[in-house]
Amino acid sequence: MFMAYYKQYGLNVKIARIFNSYGSRLREDGLYGRAVSRFVKQALTNEPITIYGDGTQTRSFCYISDTITCLMLLAVNEKSKGEVVNIGSAQETTILQLTKKIKQLTKSKSKLTYHLLSKDDPKRRCPDTSKIKKLLGWKPKISLEQGLEKTIKWFAESQT
């Protein structure tokens, strides 16, 4: 619908496809996504960390401040009018690598538990960010480890 209005009336449309943003204040409950906040909460309380599938599926995680910065740059950039862009990190991480990193950073004693993977859950989810880099010169600045440290700190402080 947006693209139809862009093509017919020249409406300043920009479509952002956001991939796995995470950070402070992201709820850990719910059925969809939120792996980082759920894993952090489980690790901080030494509860079992729930992994769906065998943990080899990959995701790319982008810290929320990087996502917001990109959205703001996209909003004011005239060259991006009528474009569909992917916003996220091009660095792929397996779910198992993510849980191990969170356990290490939290010094957690949580055990890893494995559960059935949903049939429609993709084995790989990593955006092609070449278009947004070309249009805006943007790429994430916060590494996964830096973002996890900030997220863990917020969750740890919010529990007290």
Query: What CATH number should be reported for the domain holding residue 66?
Result: 3.40.50.720
User: What's the predicted TM-score (pTM) here?
Assistant: 0.90
* pLDDT of residue 146 exceeding 80: yes
Residue ranges making up the domain that contains 14: 2-158
Query: Distance between CA 39 and CA 99 in Å, rounded?
Result: 7
* pLDDT of residue 32 exceeding 70: no
Mean pLDDT of 21-26: 89
- Number of independent structural domains in the chain: 1
Mean pLDDT of 31-58: 91
Query: Which CA distances in Å does 105 have to 14, 19, 39, 101, 145?
Result: 37, 23, 12, 6, 9
Query: Distance between CA 41 and CA 51 in Å, rounded?
Result: 14
* Weakest-pLDDT range from 84-88, 116-120, 148-152: 116-120
